[in-house]
Amino acid sequence: MKRVMIVGQPGAGKSWLARALGERTGLPVQHIDLIHWQPGWQERPKTEKLTLIHQAEMRESWIIEGGLSATYKHRLSRADTLIILDFTLWFRAWRVFVRTLKDYGRSRADLPEDCPERFSYEFWKWIWDTRHTGRAQNLALIEQAGPDVAVFHLCNRHQVASFVKNLDLPDNSGQ
């Protein structure tokens, strides 16, 4: 496991999983939201976003979590591991709601500074509007993954916890 692609819809736990895997494996973590957004919730220009994510994808090792579906094909071609977090809308909505309450007015670690957590009608509408299309797009990655890509389709938090707990790491004790 050297290049890990994590996708899932809002509230699925992509950032948490990426941090947990980064801690377990030592791989560097890249949050797409840090590329997508600039301070003050300003969206970065598309050409700049694509350049930044392409640079991240070309590194020797990484964990990249998040969307920016325009880069999925290239990212998947570089990945050796694909993790799809596929939770129900209601579970994800609850997690987004709780996260927003918990971090309200503060920027989370997976967002640029000056992007304070807030209740946003546009974000909630986007979660609702993409509940089917976003899921379908993520699940389509399973068929697109090459034969050398380990694919993990995780559908609940128990599967995620088990995946992290049982992650096989190389034994470097003799080196």
Q: For the chain, what's the residue count? A: 175
Residue 8 has a pLDDT of 97
Determine the distance from the C-alpha atom of residue 61 to the mean position of all C-alpha atoms in its chain, rounded to a whole number: 16
Burial of 110 (0-12, 13-18, 19+ CB in 10 A): buried
Judge contact between 6 and 32, C-beta under 8 A: no
Tell me the Ramachandran region of residue 172: left when phi exceeds 0, alpha when psi lies from -120 to 50, beta otherwise. alpha
Q: What is the pLDDT along the chain (175 residues), one digit of tens a residue?
A: 999 999 999 999 999 999 999 999 999 999 999 999 999 999 999 999 999 999 999 999 999 999 999 999 999 999 999 999 999 999 999 999 999 999 999 999 899 999 999 999 999 999 999 999 999 999 999 999 999 999 999 999 999 999 999 987 654 333 3
Residue 73 token pair: 């094909």
Helices 157-165 and 14-25: crossing angle in degrees, nearest 10, is 10
Residue 172 has a pLDDT of 39
Q: Cα separations (Å) of 66 from 12, 36, 74, 116? A: 10, 10, 14, 19
Residue 75 has a pLDDT of 96
Residue 173 has a pLDDT of 38
Burial of 174 (0-12, 13-18, 19+ CB in 10 A): exposed
Alpha carbon distance 134, 69 (integer Å): 10
Residue 15 token pair: 């950032």
Domains, the chain: 3-165 (3.40.50.300)
